[in-house]
Structure 1
Amino acid sequence: MTDRPGPTRRALLGAMAAGGAAAATGLAARAEGDPAITELQPWMQYNGDGVDARPYGMPSPFEAHVKRRNVEWLTADPVSSVNFTPLHEMEGIITPNGLCFERHHAGVAEVDPAEHRLMINGLVDRELVFTMADLARFPRHNKVYFLECAANSGMEWRGAQLNGCQFTHGMIHNVMYTGVMLRDVLNAAGVQDAGTWILPEGADASGMTRSIPMEKALDDCMIATHMNGERLRPEQGYPVRLVVPGWEGNMWVKWLRRIEVGDQPWHHREETSKYTDLLADGDARRFTWAMDAKSVITNPSPQAPITHGPGPTVLTGVAWSGHGTIPRVDVTLDGGINWHAARMDGPSLDKSMHRFYYEFDWDGSPLLLQSRAQDSTGYVQPTKDELRAVRGKNSIYHNNGIQTWAVDARGEAENVEIG
């Protein structure tokens, strides 16, 4: 028996092209009759700006809608308020500096780095004052962490309130911080044996302070000067801020000017209120610093509806945990009847955002979308009803319950409650 020749390379490519064309049905239009591809467009017919026209690069004007947004009725004055990261417009895990949410107690402090100082005092051997140049002489480190406000999703404790993941989950960002380890600076001052707490203080008009146990301070806390490769933005604490990985954002004191070492936590009224979660019986959980595992589907979602109609559809979202990494996220299209393992993609870093995807063919029927994160400790993100059974509905902080989006036959999504 003689061997028959195998298929030629041309035949294989032809078969692949035919298969690809079949798979692409519904994904792309044919070239004929589409002037957007068959005719010269205006931008193809003239020279654009030169390299000196935009010395600091900005997003395309066609992306002007991608921005932080405030909820005007949420607080009495925007000077002491919050705006929200547009999670539904983002990909990957890194938040661009200009889109990182803001939370202020007295507005943005505009600090001259040449005049800024950081003081270490209290129960130390040597009370020291550092300039920015002094801090730059310590060994530098680069770490990617999420920062989440303890009140993120806080409006949802009593039911669906805000229609969009920018508003339900947007008090979070995830960036690479560059700075020095807090322990190196504290060691330079010589922490005394009695020093078991620190009190960081900000240089803004509110004089923001928070108590942090020494164990955390000496573990992974940083004094950051840069985010995503450039200097901190003023609204993020320029020229220097505290980084407290995995713990609630109100402890990440901005415009850091002083760290006092003491032997017990300080009990300022504002500080105590931030550290407590009111339970249904009137008791309160205190010192609930770590942010538990949480996730949200960012697309489809109320601000990012399905616009292409039935067919191949990509679901995506982000997950994070203050206790480690996120090895697994499950998603459901039918409100929890059936769960599917999402595809984790991109870096998996400690106390950082993780990106997940789930690709499916949408048949045009209504969907009930949820995501459920599991962190590296084995902790599984609870439903909202599971949280309420333990903690009631009086809380504002630490709501990490599963979020539900209802998608109708038109592809439009809405924030709903199903437990």
Structure 2
Amino acid sequence: MTRTEVLIASAEANSAHNYHPLPVVVATADGAWMTDVEGRRFLDLLAGYSALNFGHRNRRLIDAARAQLERVTLTSRAFHHDRFAEFCARLAELCGMEMVLPMNTGAEAVESAVKAARKWGYTIKGVPDGTAKIVVASDNFHGRTTTIISFSTAPEARADFGPYTPGFEIVPYGDLTAMSQTLTQNTVAVLLEPIQGEAGVLVPPAGYLAGVRELTRERNVLFIADEIQSGLGRTGRTFACEHDGVVPDMYVLGKALGGGVVPVSAVVSSAEVLGVFRPGEHGSTFGGNPLACAVAIEVIAMLRSGEFQARSAELGEHLHRELAVLRDTGRVTQVRGRGLWAGIDIAPAYGTGREVSEKLMDRGVLVKDTHGATIRIAPPLVISKEDLDWGLAQLRTVLGV
């Protein structure tokens, strides 16, 4: 057996089978490239589902982490530390908001947003106790905790994990009429992904997000934008909501906020919304720890330059022009996305998404499938045009173009 086969067999024997990874074992990585235990190089066109927007081992982020490692890594929120105030202030400013609630993972941030919206509904809006409703969209992906799967429409996320948490109503993504009809006096929030990533990079119809913003403002309902995958430069703007001229009441952030170094997530909102929390009502041992704050401060500084958003916009235009040509061949039935982010539906005659992903892996390119026929492309924003073109050339070869 090869070293790869030995390591995969060991992993499958000793870990829960909650993922179905491609059969590659990464050992090192730099920028947009990864190298496996056999010494083979792979172009990373997934970027950790946008957690690696700034590439593998980005020097600025590694240096920030290393410097903090020499000082203090964890205090818990039982004490203040000297990086916390700066992190909160800089992230609030980036978002145009007032307060930050730091967490670790995206799902943890979504759970925090749900709690904040419910308490705001009871203490500020005046919804009767125990009746708060949150409206979400079908085909959503906000995580896999027990509460979050309660409002998922994906059978593999829900089956055999009930009973489910009540208080959520599901409407079709992109349907303003259904949204309007579902909002009631007891609705405290609408929770949406500005672009649905796990569903296949689904971009909503023109005017949808602006319409939701108008409806929620009229009905005194919070608009929560889950920008965990779509935010922080991925779509060519700092936030995907910006493409529609929309500012939500609350951002939920994660993935790229940790720079591919440590898990960092946050809920960012107004003082009215996040000010509802009192000591002891919510917390996280590692949330807002010194190491996380140090890395995230550097991420925010990088985003403030606008360099990465501009690069995603420019290379994204090129990516989508190339994919449109591929679609015209009939090998691909649909292409969606914004910036350096695309969902590509493979025509059935040319294989499933998994089969295409495996063939690309054999040619040195790593992507990941979803929903059977779809592959997603989301390279690090630092990728060169030459490397991106090489990766697309491999896709054309796999599809016989």
- TM-score of the pair, normalised by structure 1: 0.28
Structure with the largest fraction of strand: 1
Of the two structures, which has the highest relative contact order with CA contacts closer than 8 Å and spacing of 6 or more?
2
- TM-score of the pair, normalised by structure 2: 0.28
Structure with the largest fraction of helix: 2
